[in-house]
Amino acid sequence: MLKLYSFGPAANSMKPLLTLYEKGLDFEKNRLDPAKFEHHTDWFKAINPRGQVPALVDGDRVITESTVICEYLEDEYQTAVSLRPATSAGKAAMRVWTKWVDEYFCWCVSTIGWHRYVGNMVKALSDAEFEEKVAAIPVVEQQVKWRRAREGFPQDMLDEEMRKIAYSVARLDDHLRTHEWLVPGQFTLADICNFAIANGMQFGFSELVNKDATPGLLRWIEQINARPAARAMFAEVELEKLGPRE
């Protein structure tokens, strides 16, 4: 049986989770608790040496990188539900949106998320406890991020990330005012991967994502939340405890 290791239905973890639900695939749900640093334990680093979720185990294969996992599921498990366009042009359009969320949109939202939630979590640790946690983090860039979250991100960095977030939601809204889905005509991995980051911004960034400023984006967020797969996912998979969903 497929096994997914995740933090639950948010951010990068939500991409493969919602893909599995949309495709109707049965899988073992392994939810790691970031507050207990479970993703930095030796047993999990034996699965993903980067100590990050999500990770998919399919027999003797381990697939990492959230969007790659989604594409793998689409390739390996051809179910009645296809989440990728059939045409080369459609696939290209989908990948422009998934590349954009992976390389741009997710990063600015992530920094603000770390500032708001991870910072509070690590400030509660003693220096010795914190150093012990950092020593277990395999990726140097992630060690730097944990340290930054503890010290406090510089204000100019937070301002720049907020500027990028405002640009990102405007870009999505601009498209979604005139298109039902990101790739016209079909619900695809582009919608899943961008929704994974955008969902919840109507609460956490309500000054930017609301019915007056971004009606197209809000309609799309609500439409995906109303899909049976999303409803089942949110009902069945517990969310990580670091940040409020609404």
Ligand X SMILES: N[C@@H](CCC(=O)N[C@@H](CS)C(=O)NCC(=O)O)C(=O)O
Binding site for ligand X (CB under 6 A): 7, 11-13, 39, 52-54, 65-66, 142
Minimum gap (Å) between residue 175 Cβ and ligand X? 22
For residue 126, how many other CB atoms are within 10 A of its CB? 8
Are 110 and 200 in contact, with CB atoms under 8 Å apart? Answer: no
The identity of residue 204, as a single letter, is G
Minimum CB distance to ligand X smaller for 31 or for 39: 39
Cα radius of gyration rounded to whole Å, the chain:
18
Please give the backbone phi and psi of residue 8, each rounded to the nearest 5 degrees, phi first: 105, -175
The identity of residue 208, as a single letter, is L
Minimum CB distance to ligand X smaller for 12 or for 186: 12
Minimum gap (Å) between residue 55 Cβ and ligand X? 8
Minimum CB distance to ligand X smaller for 53 or for 218: 53
Minimum gap (Å) between residue 23 Cβ and ligand X? 18
For residue 118, how many other CB atoms are within 10 A of its CB? 20
Please state the three-class secondary structure of 62-117 as a single string. Answer: EEECHHHHHHHHHHHCCCCCCCCCCCHHHHHHHHHHHHHHHHHHHHHHHHHHHHHH
Minimum gap (Å) between residue 54 Cβ and ligand X? 6
Minimum CB distance to ligand X smaller for 141 or for 246: 141
Minimum gap (Å) between residue 178 Cβ and ligand X? 29
Minimum CB distance to ligand X smaller for 102 or for 173: 102
Cβ density class 135-155: b for 16+ within 10 Å, e for less: eebeeeebeebbebbbeebee
Minimum gap (Å) between residue 222 Cβ and ligand X? 23
Q: Which helix (H) or strand (E) covers residue 3, if one does?
A: strand 2-6
Minimum CB distance to ligand X smaller for 11 or for 201: 11
